[in-house]
Chain A
Amino acid sequence: MSASSPNQNPNQLEQIVARQRQQQQRFKTGVNISYGVLLLALAFLFSGLEFNIGPIAITTISLDFVFIRERIGFIFGGVGLTIMLAILSISLACVLALLGALGRLSKFPPAYALSTFYISLIRGTPLLLQIIFFFLALPQLGIRLSGLTAGVLALGLNYGAYMTEIMRAGIQSVGIGQREAALAIGMTQSQIMRRIILPQAFRLVVPPIGNEFIAMLKDTSLISVTGFVWEILWRSQRVGRQSFRNLEALLMAALFYWIITIIFSAVQNRIEAYLGKGERNSGGMIH
């Protein structure tokens, strides 16, 4: 019997859909099982077990769980500060990135030059150097900054330079027709930027800025070099050195960063999904 088109046979269509769904489901289950195996392997690696399989002696890493239990609270105490540092720095970076992007798009030569200079200088030097510079070099010029201020300034300046490109792309992706329509009803350049271009650009740059924020959460750890900011890495290094338990201490710090990242990535996915939906429902780009 020749196969009839699935369009004409609802039963067959259902079967096809069911089969596709089954394949997707099977993949998801496989991934979850693999995660489980990986976690078990990790747990085994740090289980502290020692045994022989025939002639081979198996040794796993044994952790000092008493130390971990005692100190995990202290290290966890840095989570709030880490998140706060990232929020402060990303806020500064957003402002700088917007100014930088406007400069890069400006027809006013000094604005363009200043913005290009800023980006080049910041991207041409290491972030770690910038943080140390703000903390150690500026006092020589009579500018004394706390570790926290120096760190936030350096991180904000650094990320601002990188995010300039994101902002610029966001602004440029708003169609030329939008600007023309606004000009045609007599709006001024600044009105157009504020009321027409930026609101549309922001919607586009929120997801990439979310990515920057997630990267920044980890880069706040660089501020620990100033020695006076009690964020996660600084705390873990402190307790690690005190008790010669650097392995446990750094593993705890790593775990906290990882968990924070997973949580914020989930938030980021939500925001992205929401914005995507909003665009279809309420603001599809015309171009």
Chain B
Amino acid sequence: MNEIVQVGELDKYFGPLHVLKNLSLMVQKAEVICIIGRSGSGKSTFLRCINFLEQPDYGWIEVDGLRVPAQGSGRDYRTLIHNLRLKTGMVFQSFNLFPHKTALENVMEGPLTVKQMDKTAARQLGLFYLDKVGLVHKRDEYPSRLSGGQQQRVAIARALAMEPQVMLFDEPTSALDPELIGEVLGVMQKLVQEGMTMLTVTHEMGFAREFAHRIVYMDEGHFVEIGPPKQIFDAPQDERTQLFMNAFSRFERPGNGG
């Protein structure tokens, strides 16, 4: 079996609000999934359930053979969630770098404290991943001295340094000035080419069209339509997807749109 991420019958409520409705998804190794949809459609919540930053109310998550039910308690269950998190890396919209640590220290933090690596090894690993995102020369800078794009690249390096099986990107470019988006997408493109399994919540339709193997369109907590970019962009089956795509194409490609 090649399925590295499996989500089964996931439900999530915020109080009385039913935000994820019976979601299931199988993700192949090295597959790139882009999740798109209006704000409030539940796409970020779905992503955050995969590493239990949000705890689902029903269903299960499986990553790399480790299955975690939505609910549970006790030390064993917490260990299960912890181990699940070790298999996933996450990149946030607002970067969330540790402001009191340098770029390199940010990247080293996981290997050092979670994997208990010795300092030299962690440093080497940190430099390797900073190099991968093209920021070795900024290793001693604090986050506040880095641009948004650079901060996000450090955040990607920080997640990669834990050598996860799958990367979760939660609107990684939404907080960036337009001229800084490219450098982050560039790093993500590199990861795609290296065969990293990725789930990305994004508004970057260009990226989704070019690099996603499958696109998930979400609306009101449902997976409305899942399919290859060609289908979703050019021949959406569901009416809601069509409406969404029409709204987008008017801005994205004014030459072809209405």
Chain A contact residues, CB within 8 Å of chain B = 175, 177-178, 180-188, 191, 195-196, 199-200, 203, 279-287
Contacts and interface: CB of A to CB of B under 8 A. Distances in A.
B205 interface: no
Interface of B: 51, 53, 82, 85-86, 88-90, 92, 94-100, 109-110, 113-114, 142-145, 155, 158-159, 162
A203 to B, nearest CB: 7
A203 B100 CA distance: 10
Given A186-B162, A187-B114, A284-B143, A180 B99 contact: no
A103 B114 CA distance: 25
Nearest to A189: B78
A189 to B, nearest CB: 9
18 contacts: A177-B92, A177-B94, A180-B96, A184-B51, A184-B88, A184-B92, A185-B159, A185-B162, A186-B162, A187-B109, A187-B113, A187-B114, A196-B98, A199-B100, A200-B98, A200-B100, A284-B144, A285-B99
Contacts of B155: 181
Nearest to A285: B99
Q: Interface residues of A: mostly helix, strand, loop or mixed?
A: helix
B13 to A, nearest CB: 20
A280 B144 contact: yes
Contacts of A178: 96, 98
Contact of A181 (B97, B114, B144): B97
A184 B159 CA distance: 8
From A185, A187, A191, residue with most partner B Cβ within 10 Å: A185
Nearest to B86: A186
A286 B143 CA distance: 9
6 smallest CB-CB distances across A and B, nearest first, come from A284-B144, A181-B96, A185-B110, A177-B96, A184-B90, A283-B99
Contacts, number: 84
B144 A186 contact: no
A173 to B, nearest CB: 12
B114 A281 contact: no
Given A183-B85, A187-B110, A196-B98, A282 B92 contact: no
B142 A180 contact: no
A282 B105 CA distance: 13
Contacts of B145: 281-282
A186 B85 contact: yes
A181 B85 contact: no
B99 A184 contact: no
A286 B113 contact: no
A184 B89 contact: yes
Contacts of B95: 286
A42 to B, nearest CB: 46
Contacts of B53: 180, 183-184
B164 to A, nearest CB: 9
B97 A195 contact: no
A286 B94 contact: yes
Contacts of A188: 82
A283 B144 contact: yes
A205 to B, nearest CB: 14
Given A181-B96, A279-B144, A284-B99, 9 more contacts: A177-B92, A181-B92, A182-B98, A184-B92, A185-B114, A282-B100, A283-B144, A285-B99, A286-B94
